[in-house]
Amino acid sequence: PVALDPVVSSVTSTVPVGPAMPADPAPVVGPVSLPALPPQPEPVTYPARLRITATSGAQVTLRRDGRLVFEGRLPPGKYLDWRGTSFVLHASNPKGLRVELAGRPVDLATLRPEPDGSWRLGKK
């Protein structure tokens, strides 16, 4: 009989060892550009011009600085033009009016009317 020597083998790892990778790598942050903000409108200076143009007919009452300045029918295409600090407008057909204060459009539909149905425009 032949005696066999046990074979001993050693295994060596050949995987390169380097710095460990983090589990969650940090995000790469570069320059950030934010959208430009729209320019802020210039504040209204008083006295300001109020222009009311009728796109369809309406009964209109307008007070400027506490005094009645117009009461009557404003036919389509006609307008009222006043300078003042505070205005109170009452109209039978507000959707038929285009209103501007200091050159800026005023949408009466977005404003809350007073209990009597009028709108206060300008300084309170």
Give, for all 124 residues of the chain, the pLDDT tens digit.
Answer: 555 454 444 444 455 555 555 566 666 666 767 677 777 667 778 899 999 999 998 999 999 999 999 999 999 999 999 999 999 999 999 999 999 999 999 999 999 999 999 999 998 7
What pLDDT is attached to residue 44? 76
Q: Mean pLDDT for the chain?
A: 83
Q: What is the DSSP string of 62-117?
A: EEETTEEEEEEEE-TT-EEEEEESEEEEEES-GGGEEEEETTEEE-GGGSPPPTTS
Q: Is the dihedral angle over the CA atoms 58, 64, 66, 68 positive or is it negative?
A: negative
pLDDT at 78: 97
Q: What is the pLDDT of residue 7?
A: 46
* Of residues 91, 71, 72, 116, the one with CA closest to residue 106: 91
**Tens-digit pLDDT profile for residues 19-38:** 555 566 666 666 767 677 77
